[in-house]
């Protein structure tokens, strides 16, 4: 049996509230790494990634990188280096965050396929069990050669959680050839040109709440880096608007739509200890709006932003 204690310590250090600057490049870097793995020669090891993980039933295709460092989990599924590689004897632990590649792990049923490709071999696993475990508990081995997919629980948290959702799978076959393909997840947002990177709100002491996806998002979009990329962009736009209102009107004009009222409410100080939650409305692979709920000056507000030329612009500031 493989102990979870070391894995949880590593992920606990990483946390789930990312610096905004990482997220703007995360999905693009993951995409490049997947292509390098898929197109590499059988005996080549691409820079950055050691393999590709796919969960066909929920549309996941993700690069796998060595280690559980925060910078690794910002763009890839991380392999716990204290455990064997997928397909080797023992239980291989792969970790990702619940609002990215492992967003749908709670829906995986027994028997669902999980594929890991490295070189010209694809290791085929089937799901054996789903468990919610605490730090220090043991992962029941699914077989002589198995996988444990590790993510935070509950699955909508934007903060560090003590519980872990563990999906175990057993090796059932090894095939030759790489059948994994990459699906696009739409535009990756960024700040408008001319707006410097604003202060990171979470690093400034703001408390992460939950991320909710509404509408009819495609499975491949929901289980990619896209939800966290848009969440980070929404918070970056809000931070830029606060700085602009206080110091530089040019920032404000780039991140706040003309005619938006009550923007002065954004100047109030953050109310310490209150959660900041994000709600994304998505149709297929297209983001329709992102709303940030935050308490400033003791007043709960909803800041609504809409996509515009690859970025987000604030269109309303409304008391809750």
Residues 121 and 254 in one domain: no
Highest mean pLDDT among 99-108, 242-251, 283-292: 283-292
Per DSSP bridges, beta strands 77-79 and 60-66 are: parallel
Residue 172 has phi, psi (to 5 degrees) of: -120, -20
Residue 183 has phi, psi (to 5 degrees) of: -105, 135
Residue 265 has phi, psi (to 5 degrees) of: -65, -25
Helix (H, G, I), strand (E, B) or coil at 71: helix
Q: How far apart are CA 27 and CA 86, in angstroms?
A: 23
Instruction: Supply the CATH number for residue 48's domain.
Output: 2.40.260.10
- Residue pair 281/315 in contact (Cβ under 8 Å)? The answer is no
Cis preceding-peptide flag for 154 (omega within 30 of 0): yes
Q: What percent of the chain has pLDDT over 90?
A: 30
> Which is more confidently placed, 245 or 181?
245
Residue 33 has phi, psi (to 5 degrees) of: -65, -40
Domain-ending residue, one of 158, 176, 194? 176
Q: How far apart are CA 139 and CA 156, in angstroms?
A: 23
pLDDT, one tens digit per residue, over 273-309 is: 998 999 999 888 889 999 999 999 999 999 999 998 8
Taking residues 219-223, report their average pLDDT.
76
- Residue pair 230/191 in contact (Cβ under 8 Å)? The answer is no
Is there a domain that residue 184 lies in? no
Is there a domain that residue 191 lies in? no
Question: Does 8 score more than 80 pLDDT?
Answer: no
Residues 234 and 169 in one domain: no
Is there a domain that residue 189 lies in? no
Total domains in the chain come to 2
Question: Does 16 score more than 70 pLDDT?
Answer: no
Is 252 exposed, middle or buried (CB count within 10 Å of its CB: 0-12, 13-18, 19+)? buried
Radius of gyration of the chain (CA): 20
- Residue pair 156/16 in contact (Cβ under 8 Å)? The answer is no
Instruction: Supply the CATH number for residue 280's domain.
Output: 3.10.450
Residue 144 has phi, psi (to 5 degrees) of: -60, -35
Longest dimension (CA), the chain: 63
Distances in whole angstroms, Cα of residue 40 to Cα of each of 64, 80, 142: 15, 23, 31
Residues 122 and 79 in one domain: yes
Taking residues 77-82, report their average pLDDT.
93
- The token pair that represents 49 in the structure block: 């990634």
Mean pLDDT value across the chain: 79
Residue 119 has phi, psi (to 5 degrees) of: 65, -135
Is there a domain that residue 183 lies in? no
Residues 42 and 106 in one domain: yes
Residues 108 and 7 in one domain: yes
Q: How far apart are CA 9 and CA 317, in angstroms?
A: 39
What's the pLDDT band for 185 if we cut at 50, 70, 90? low
Is there a domain that residue 198 lies in? no
Residues 133 and 232 in one domain: no
Residue 172: domain span: 2-176
Residues 144 and 249 in one domain: no
pLDDT at 73: 83
Question: What is the helix (H) or strand (E) element at residue 232, kind and residue range?
Answer: helix 226-246
DSSP of 85-109? PTTSSEEEEEE--TTTTTTTGGGPP
Domain-ending residue, one of 131, 153, 176? 176
Global pTM reads: 0.56
Residues 254 and 171 in one domain: no
Residues 68 and 121 in one domain: yes
Residues 142 and 227 in one domain: no
Domain-ending residue, one of 130, 156, 176? 176
Residue 5 has phi, psi (to 5 degrees) of: -55, -50
What's the pLDDT band for 39 if we cut at 50, 70, 90? very low
Highest mean pLDDT among 186-190, 191-195, 273-277, 292-296: 292-296
């Amino acid at each position: 049996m493989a102990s979870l204690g070391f894995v949880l310590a590593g992920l606990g250090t990483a946390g789930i509230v990312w610096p905004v600057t990482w997220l703007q490049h995360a999905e693009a870097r993951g995409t490049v790494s997947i292509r390098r793995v898929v197109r590499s020669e059988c005996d080549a090891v691409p820079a950055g990634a050691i393999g590709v993980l796919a969960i066909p039933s929920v549309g996941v295709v993700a690069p796998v990188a060595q280690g559980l460092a925060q910078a690794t989990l910002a763009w890839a599924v991380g392999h716990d280096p204290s455990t064997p590689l997928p397909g080797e004897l023992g239980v291989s632990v792969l970790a990702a965050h619940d609002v990215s590649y492992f967003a749908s792990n709670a829906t995986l049923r027994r028997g669902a396929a999980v594929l890991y490709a490295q070189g010209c071999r694809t290791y085929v696993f089937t799901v054996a069990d789903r468990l919610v475990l605490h730090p220090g508990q043991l992962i029941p081995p699914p077989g002589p050669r198995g996988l444990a997919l590790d993510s935070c629980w509950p699955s909508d948290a934007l903060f560090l959680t003590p519980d872990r959702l563990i999906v175990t799978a057993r090796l059932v076959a090894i095939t030759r050839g790489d059948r994994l393909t990459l699906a696009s997840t739409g535009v990756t947002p960024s700040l408008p040109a001319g707006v410097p990177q604003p202060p990171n709100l979470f690093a400034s002491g703001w408390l992460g709440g939950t991320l909710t996806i509404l509408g009819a998002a495609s499975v491949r979009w929901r289980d990619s880096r896209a939800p966290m990329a848009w969440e980070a962009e929404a918070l970056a736009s809000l931070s830029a608007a606060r700085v602009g209102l206080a110091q530089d009107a040019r920032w404000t004009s780039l991140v706040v739509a003309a005619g938006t009222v009550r923007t002065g409410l954004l100047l109030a100080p953050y109310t310490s200890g209150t959660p900041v939650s994000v709600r994304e409305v998505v149709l297929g692979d297209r983001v329709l709006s992102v709303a940030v709920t935050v308490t400033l000056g003791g007043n709960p507000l909803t800041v609504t932003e809409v996509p515009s030329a690859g970025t987000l612009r604030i269109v309303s500031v409304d008391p809750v």
